[in-house]
Amino acid sequence: MKRINDIFYSLQGEGHHTGRAAVFVRFAGCNLRCPFCDTAFDTYREMTDDDIVAAITAYPARFVVLTGGEPTLQVDEAFVDLLHQYGFEVAMESNGTRPAPRNLDWLTVSPKQKPVKQHCHEVKVVFSENTDATTFGLEASYYYLQPCDTGDAERNAAIINRCVDYIKEHPEWRLSLQTHKLVGFK
């Protein structure tokens, strides 16, 4: 049984796959408690792997994003294999503090502390007023800075401006905006 916070169909709103139709499986529970996290940890339902597959195959996209919380607490290679058997391309968004299944098609690591994983497809750092963009030694094909959404328009504008300036000075980074919040979809 897996603890599932939510399963929904939308567009990927951030990072390399921005704008791509995706089924999101949001797992409950995390080993970190980041103040900007948008997941309600206390609300979840227990689902079997077959229940999850039945829910996500109801949608036309065959790109699934395993997110959380921290999905590595519940996802293993057997579950990824099962999703592959149903024709899904499997992406995961992780904080990198636990080993991720090796058979993922795409791994995004958003490090908040030294990760155990040393290779991933993309690194996404949430950027705020006090951020020093660091990869924590992660090797990736893409490095993104994502301005932290504080809920305060004036503060957000200042963070975005600082983020843009930082990227101009450090061109190995790319800007990732949370387009789902800008456009107004889940």
Q: Which residues are catalytic?
A: 24, 30, 34, 37-39, 93, 180
Counting Cβ atoms within 10 Å, is residue 129 exposed (0-12), middle (13-18) or buried (19+)? Answer: exposed
Cβ-based neighbour number of residue 180 at 10 Å: 16
The whole-angstrom separation of Cα 60 and Cα 56 is 9
The beta-strand segments (E) located in 76-131 are 89-94, 106-109, 122-127
81, two tokens? 């294999």
